[in-house]
Structure 1
Amino acid sequence: MVNLALLLLPVAAFPQWEFDSPGALQTWVPNAHLANVAVRDGVVCADTTDWDPFFTCRSVEFAATPWEYVHIRMKASRAGVCDLFWSGTLEGQYGGLTEQKKLRFAVAGTGDWEDVVLFPFWQREGTIRQFRLDVFANAHFEIDFVRILEWGNAANLQQTTFESGELLQNRIERSPVLWTNRLDLPASSAKFATLVVNTERSGDAANVCWGTSERVGMQRAAVPLRQGEHIYNIPISENDGWCGTIAALGLELPAGARVLNVALGNEPGGEADVAITYLGFENGVNRAERPCRVLARFKNFGGAAARGFTAELSLPEGLTLSTGETTQAVGDLPYNETADVVWTVVTAEAVTRAISVNGERTELKFEPARAIQSADYVPEPRPITTSIDVAAYYFPGWEAPKKWEPVRNTAPNRKPLLGYYDEGNPECVDWQVKWAVENGIGVFLVDWYWVAGKRSLEHWFEAYRKARYRDQLKVAIMWANHNPPKTHSREDWRAVTQHWIDHYFNLPAYYRIDEKPAVFLWSPDNLRNDLGGVDAVKEAIAESQQMAKDAGYEGITFVAMGYSFAKSHIENLVVEGFSGITTYHEWGAIAPDTNVSKHALFDDVVRTVTTSWRQKNTDAGALMYYPVVDTGWDSRPWHGDKAFVIDGRTPAHFRSLLEQAKAFCGETNKPLVILGPVNEWGEGSYIEPCTEFGFEMTECVREVFGVKPETGWPENIGPADVNRGPYDFRN
């Protein structure tokens, strides 16, 4: 086992640009999308005027080492994302610059100075000969300096053995990463990184970071943390980036966390450390006077096996065990293995009570008792009216049992109220229709897939066609055309338009905007690139309009999707024939995959979203902008430790977003608001009734946008209330 002492020794002997004179603009040259560029009081000032503003620096040449870092001090008038490109050559398609050689970072845009510290690990390049700093549109920037520095000490280069040492809480500049001494360590010599960390709360994450001779850029693996002192074994050799020779190992910790030990080895380290990764109801909407299943999922994070492990449930007064014993034997639990233990409890009244298992506490909320009234089918919906149209994205990705396994194994709290259901079952669709229209969601914008004539994931639409209550829920196509290059063509566009006309626009509840069937297009850029430019897209959309008119429709309303609101892009969309623009998510000032941390807080979405809507609404120009109310992001079921996660989403947060959206739509006369996905269970974007939230999320929608009937809101019920279901796939 190798113990690593975290050390900081910065060295300054590299290019530094302080911008002390106007001549600095001959070194860092602005392009035509920057205006009012000037050097004042040792600061470069500039305003961005179009979609691709950047500064280029080619008067530089220095040897690239693994231990160099870039320190930029800058400020901006709004939040956004910047890129620093670098290269050792001036030749090639883009003058030597590529997407693989860049450092992406977020700017908070508060108007205060921000220190950005970046670790490029660009040593494979040999020599650095140019930079390009890409800023973002519609903002004012000031840059105090750009500095290249080096940390560590060559005399401390360590190879295969390390001595234990005090862990120094030092950071390079204001970087969140703590680094080891310089290393010269074959990646093959270690399969596991073992951490001992003490943290004040659960839910945060650390990042193990490193640089390698075989990859450009900083590599990393996320480590979800648990409150208190715990062992974490990361199978680091399973990460694609753990290869070649490791030049440095670092650790990023959240506030309130302290690292006690870091070690590398070929086996998981430490004693057994069993933790509860989930404790709560197994199913959603648990009622008084009914047996309710409580699930505890255990996992051993320590290197040694837990022997003879048991699980003990403690119940408060008013809750009783329906069957079995409070103490259950789990047996032996080896490293990284999980075990599920289930108890069935019951209460006589609607209460919220705290239970504990092996000392870990959680609250259980029991809904009011309701007699089971058996029904032959889903009870008929009672749609409510809303102040404006409320739509939501729908992802039809649950057509096979294997699709549910990552969710079942990683996030049992996401279990839908329908169970791990067969999405092609019309009865499931009718429950979805009922829950949507009774809670103020009148439209599903359904992800739809067509690649050069090949269609996929149509099972939900086929079930919708057979559903008894289908016409109460409007639908529209969101063509997810994130297709391979060269799969759009004029002939294909003509074919896809005809398919919409023949099979979708004729649905009685197909959604219309301005009296025309609406189509939302994921990537106008992909269409433009394949067809050959703006004029080609304009001609294709004009032909679609004529085809729709020939079929008896008023035309088609095309709504563009995407995150570029640059002036030239908006102008292109208007010329091409789009009438609106929107996004799939809206995270306000949060920028994923920037700097180091892959965790963000939903608080920040709530705090910054209105500013983002207003900016997009202004930038949309002649296009109608439709705001999106986000439904979260935590893609760990799909992406594991590489996932970007927005922590802390609650019904209260969601209600706040909805209230802000209602105010924004009122101020700007919006006829439509769009909710993020209702059922992206793998990506962590969901509000459909489930174990975690029950009906709380959907009820927020009707309470904010709905018009309450004189008879009161429709009662939200689940399949168990009428003795229907479960709808899980059958083995």
Structure 2
Amino acid sequence: MPKPEIAAYYFPNYHPDRRNEAFTGRKGWSEWELVEAARPRFEGHPLPYRPLWGKCDESDPQVMAMKIDAAADHGVDTFLFDWYYYNDGPYLERALDEGFLGAPNNDRLQFALMWANHDWHDIHPADPDVTPQTRYSGLLNPDVFEAVSTRMLEQYFSHPSYLKVDGAPFFSIYDAPHFVRSFGSVKAAREALDRWRRKAVAFGFPGLHINLVDWDVAILFGEGGAKRPAALAPELGADSINAYIWVHYTDMTRHEKNDYDAVAAQYFESFARLRAEAAVPVYPNVTMGWDPSARTRQDKPWKVGDYPFHGTLSGNTPARFEAALERALALAAEGEGFQMLTINAWNEWTEGSFLEPEVSLGFGYLEAIKRASAKVCVSGS
């Protein structure tokens, strides 16, 4: 069977950022500090994770070149960057703008944007005794969206390595209900997307491929709305639906440990229902892990509850991950036309979901992708 596009979500908070330095008051701060400070919270808890490549700066083109080679060599086709833009400008952009786009080998891997248009909260780390403050609202002023939509066409979509579906740039929206709230109505949000499609045609593209991230269970504060994202797809004129992570389909607020295979089964059941009901193609997801406890105060008691005090995915191994990949690849092959499989995540270290090599795991999860692709897929189209 043809190999679907394998896209790994990339979280770009592992480089110095001016906003983070202002928040923390520390020059050069990045989320590596939380990775290093993390400690076990219960028996058998495997923290801290130890990145095999060390605390490297992803905005360095040579560092990103190393990541690109590792991804391409193991069957990953695309980095799907979590992309942040607020009313006062971009955030965490240097990993893409300086790292990936500056890498000498960026022709080996495609990239695309997943607009992480959620509110940004002060949870790095979260204090169990304090309600997190909102640093930035994910509600974008319509005039800002008009300007930034043109910027995306110029700066990103025109790049030869940008992921395109039948010539149309692929763009994913993390929180579709939040996007609608930015414009005040579904009608106004649809009109904004239609205007953007017309801009894309004027730039020489056949259009845009708009993808919506779906979920059953909200994770972040303020996430979601009255309508499930998938239900908005036909109203917004979206072209496809996918998932960010399995825990959007299960309750992680009750147990310290949640079995990997059991959570996988819940996700694949939800996927089957959604694919049967959806008006547009639905792409499967495979999740490597889940453990956001590194984003909590390590000097205070930890108790399972709302994010980031979620329980963890337990029993995840490269072998179990590989089995889930084989299942998802087979499901993707059942669809018609362009097919994609998303993986959470390339480097969500502080959420316990990473393909990047770790001291005790080595390249185990990347090797699993390579093996699963070889077993299930045949090169070509």
TM-score by length of 1: 0.42
For residue 575 of structure 1, report the CA deviation from its aligned partner: 2.2
Which of the pair is proportionally richer in helix? 2
1:689 to 346, 357, 361: 357
1:395 to 2, 6, 11: 11
CA offsets 1:256-299 (integer angstroms, 9 cap, x no match): xxxxxxxxxxxxxxxxxxxxxxxxxxxxxxxxxxxxxxxxxxxx
For residue 599 of structure 1, report the CA deviation from its aligned partner: 3.0
1:584 to 244, 257, 263: 244
> Structure 1 667/541 Cα, relative in aligned 2: closer, same or farther at 3 Å?
same
CA offsets 1:113-145 (integer angstroms, 9 cap, x no match): xxxxxxxxxxxxxxxxxxxxxxxxxxxxxxxxx
1:575 to 222, 235, 255: 235
Number of residue pairs matched by the alignment: 322
Report if the CA contact (8 A) 1:517-1:556 is conserved. yes
Pairing 1:25-174 to 2, within 5 Å after superposition:
none
Aligned to 1:435: 70
Aligned to 1:48: none
Pairing 1:668-683 to 2, within 5 Å after superposition:
668-669=335-336, 671-683=339-351
Aligned to 1:635: 292
The one-letter amino acid paired with 1:653 is R
Q: Does 1:646 align with 2:282?
A: no
The one-letter amino acid paired with 2:295 is W
CA offsets 1:584-610 (integer angstroms, 9 cap, x no match): 1014863122xx434312131234333
Report if the CA contact (8 A) 1:386-1:707 is conserved. no
The one-letter amino acid paired with 1:392 is A
CA offsets 1:70-89 (integer angstroms, 9 cap, x no match): xxxxxxxxxxxxxxxxxxxx
Report if the CA contact (8 A) 1:626-1:673 is conserved. yes
Aligned to 2:333: 666
Report if the CA contact (8 A) 1:610-1:664 is conserved. no
Partners of 1:493 and 1:586 in 2: CA distance = 29
Partners of 2:209 and 2:284 in 1: CA distance = 17
5+ unaligned residues in a row in structure 2: which ranges? 17-27, 40-46, 120-135, 218-225, 304-308, 377-381
Report if the CA contact (8 A) 2:284-2:328 is conserved. yes
RMSD of the alignment, in Å? 2.5
Which of the pair is proportionally richer in strand? 1
The one-letter amino acid paired with 2:276 is T
CA offsets 1:181-239 (integer angstroms, 9 cap, x no match): xxxxxxxxxxxxxxxxxxxxxxxxxxxxxxxxxxxxxxxxxxxxxxxxxxxxxxxxxxx
3-state SS of 2:313 partner: strand
Aligned to 1:481: 117
Partners of 1:555 and 1:464 in 2: CA distance = 25
For residue 660 of structure 1, report the CA deviation from its aligned partner: 1.1
2:372 to 680, 704, 716: 704
Partners of 2:375 and 2:259 in 1: CA distance = 32
Aligned to 2:170: 518
For residue 514 of structure 1, report the CA deviation from its aligned partner: 2.9
Aligned to 2:94: 459
Aligned to 1:496: 148
Report if the CA contact (8 A) 2:84-2:116 is conserved. yes
Aligned to 1:71: none
5+ unaligned residues in a row in structure 1: which ranges? 1-384, 709-731
Aligned to 1:249: none
Report if the CA contact (8 A) 2:87-2:144 is conserved. yes
For residue 453 of structure 1, report the CA deviation from its aligned partner: 4.2
The one-letter amino acid paired with 1:417 is L
Partners of 2:33 and 2:228 in 1: CA distance = 44
3-state SS of 1:419 partner: coil
The one-letter amino acid paired with 2:353 is S
The one-letter amino acid paired with 2:8 is A
3-state SS of 1:472 partner: coil
Partners of 2:165 and 2:88 in 1: CA distance = 26
3-state SS of 2:324 partner: helix
Deviates more, 1:683-692 or 1:567-576: 567-576
For residue 691 of structure 1, report the CA deviation from its aligned partner: 1.0
3-state SS of 1:624 partner: coil
3-state SS of 2:101 partner: helix
The one-letter amino acid paired with 1:602 is Y
Partners of 2:260 and 2:216 in 1: CA distance = 22
CA offsets 1:291-327 (integer angstroms, 9 cap, x no match): xxxxxxxxxxxxxxxxxxxxxxxxxxxxxxxxxxxxx
The one-letter amino acid paired with 1:407 is V
Aligned to 1:108: none
Partners of 1:537 and 1:506 in 2: CA distance = 24
For residue 487 of structure 1, report the CA deviation from its aligned partner: 3.6
Pairing 1:194-205 to 2, within 5 Å after superposition:
none
Q: Does 1:613 align with 2:271?
A: yes
Partners of 1:582 and 1:477 in 2: CA distance = 14
- Give 1 or 2 for the bigger CA radius of gyration: 1
Partners of 1:525 and 1:567 in 2: CA distance = 7
The one-letter amino acid paired with 1:480 is A
2:32 to 395, 400, 404: 404
Report if the CA contact (8 A) 1:444-1:473 is conserved. yes
The one-letter amino acid paired with 1:665 is A
Partners of 2:172 and 2:75 in 1: CA distance = 21
Report if the CA contact (8 A) 1:474-1:509 is conserved. yes
For residue 667 of structure 1, report the CA deviation from its aligned partner: 3.1
For residue 458 of structure 1, report the CA deviation from its aligned partner: 0.9
TM-score by length of 2: 0.78
Q: Does 1:528 align with 2:185?
A: no
> Structure 1 489/445 Cα, relative in aligned 2: closer, same or farther at 3 Å?
same
